[in-house]
Amino acid sequence: MKGLRRDPERTELRALRRRIPLEGARILEVGCGDGRLTRRIAPLARAVVATDPNEAFIARAKALTPASLREKVRYRVAAAETLRLPGRRFDVAVLSWSL
Amino acid sequence: MVHALTQIHRAIRPDGIVVDLRPDRFAGPRQPRPQLPRICWASNGRERPQGTLDKTPENLQRHRAATRAVKRIVQRGLYRLEGAETFQFRYHFQTLGVFEWRLRTVWKDSFLRPSLYRRLQALQQRSRTGHIVVIEPVRLSILRKR
């Protein structure tokens, strides 16, 4: 949305980086919304699977993801409760304001 | 919520990490009053507090339920709470119109008191360079898979 900036100070990313090793990690993001945080963590990660139950959000997240990150990021329409993922695959799961 | 945390437990590797990011509505389990996002008017490099963004009872109940779910899953031994911190997440709204759009479309469980709305309207009319900042305290909790 034009006229809205969310966390341009990047305090969220800085807090995450202080606490967890994102570099080279395989990350599962639950509740990614329009991919605001996904686009910030993806450059550091090895791979990101980002999920959200809202199909419109996922469509927007895909559209906003730059070409340079598309190889790393996979988006899926899914609620956390119904996630069907291969076991023991991710190093980090981020619950993005979704619990 | 407990089910979601159980599903995620299966998806992460042994010793993997779950990061729970969400508004720090209730800093302590017995805290009776919620922490609400602060609304400020920003101009000339300063943020002046104007009031809070109120939340519906449903929003507050959801936050309490999430806190309970995390507590339950830790008690079950699936995760260990390894640490937590709170930081300030800022939304910058160029105009009151953009803020209203956000309330209509995304923050449907939030509302502005009429007196605060009028104050923001007046501030916007008086200042061409200022804008609205909503500051949400966010809690980051680290859960380590056992």
Measuring CA to CA, which residue among B86, B90, B108, B107 is closest to residue B39?
B90
pLDDT band per the 50, 70, 90 thresholds, residue A2: confident
pLDDT of residue B29: 59
- Domain locations along chain A: 6-94
**Is some CB atom of chain B closer than 8 A to the CB atom of A95?**
yes
- In the block, tokens 């956390």 appear at A80
Contacts with B, A 10-49, CB within 8 Å: 11-12, 14-16, 18-20, 28, 30
pTM over 0.95: no
Query: How does strand A73-77 pair with strand A47-52?
Result: parallel
Q: Say whether B22 and A95 touch across the interface (CB within 8 A).
A: yes
- Predicted confidence band of residue B126 (pLDDT cuts 50, 70, 90): very high
CA distance B95 to B70: 37
User: What pLDDT score was predicted for residue B28?
Assistant: 63
Q: Is the separation of the CB atoms in B65 and B24 below 8 Å?
A: no
Among residues B99, B104, B107, B110, the alpha carbon closest in space to that of B57 is found at B110
Alpha carbons A22 and B56: distance in angstroms, whole number:
35
Tell me if B138 sits within 8 A of B86, measured CB to CB.
yes
Tokens of B128: 């061409």
Nearest to B37 by CA among B138, B115, B108, B141: B138
Q: Where are the domains of chain B?
A: 2-145
Burial (CB count within 10 angstroms: exposed 0-12, middle 13-18, buried 19+), residue A54: middle
pLDDT of residue A81: 79
Domain spanning A6-94: which CATH class is it, in words?
alpha beta
Give the amino acid at A22. Answer: L
Name chain B contacts of A45, Cβ cutoff 8 Å.
Answer: none
Residue A40 makes CB contacts below 8 A (sequence gap 6+) with A10, A12, A13
Condensed to tens digits (0 to 9), the pLDDT of residues A12-69 reads 999 999 999 999 999 999 999 999 999 999 999 999 999 999 999 999 999 999 999 9
In angstroms, the separation between the Cα of residue A10 and the nearest Cα of chain B is 8
Whether B25 has a pLDDT exceeding 90, the answer reads no
**By CA distance, what is A14's nearest residue in B?**
B87
SS (H, E, C) A51-92: EECCHHHHHHHHHHCCHHHCCCEEEEECCHHHCCCCCCCEEE
Give the distance, in angstroms, between the CA of residue A31 and the centroid of all CA atoms in the same chain: 8
pLDDT for position A79: 87
> What are the two backbone dihedrals, phi and then psi, of residue B144, each rounded to the nearest 5 degrees?
-100, 130
